[in-house]
Amino acid sequence: AQAIRAQGLMQSDPLLVQAEQKLIEQAEQLVVLVDSSKFRQIASLILCPLKRIDVLVTDTGAPREALEMLRGAGVDVVLVEPDEADA
């Protein structure tokens, strides 16, 4: 995904949205892995609403408000510490 917002998981490329939505429809559980920068990005197309996401894994740099928004939507949020070598 290009971004994650209150509207849901976002993407800008309509072809990617179409292909990824087909995969999401087939999934029993949707686990999303995004780094904290995705909370500051914007995109024009909704890939899926937040309520469709079962688990979201992100780093501890994610904004607290965004994490509260996700939890409020029923998303199980897993926070991980960034690797020092990547910092």
Using one digit for the tens of pLDDT, what is the confidence trace for 33-51?
999 999 999 999 999 999 9
Q: What are the C-alpha distances in Å from 73 to residues 36, 51, 57, 64?
A: 18, 6, 15, 14
Interval 41-63 mean pLDDT: 97
Quick one: pLDDT at residue 85?
A: 65
pLDDT > 90? residue 10 = yes
pLDDT > 60? residue 4 = yes
Task: Say how far apart CA 33 and CA 18 lie, in whole Å.
Answer: 19
3-state secondary structure (DSSP) of residue 75: coil
Quick one: pLDDT at residue 82?
A: 85
Q: What is the pTM of this model?
A: 0.89
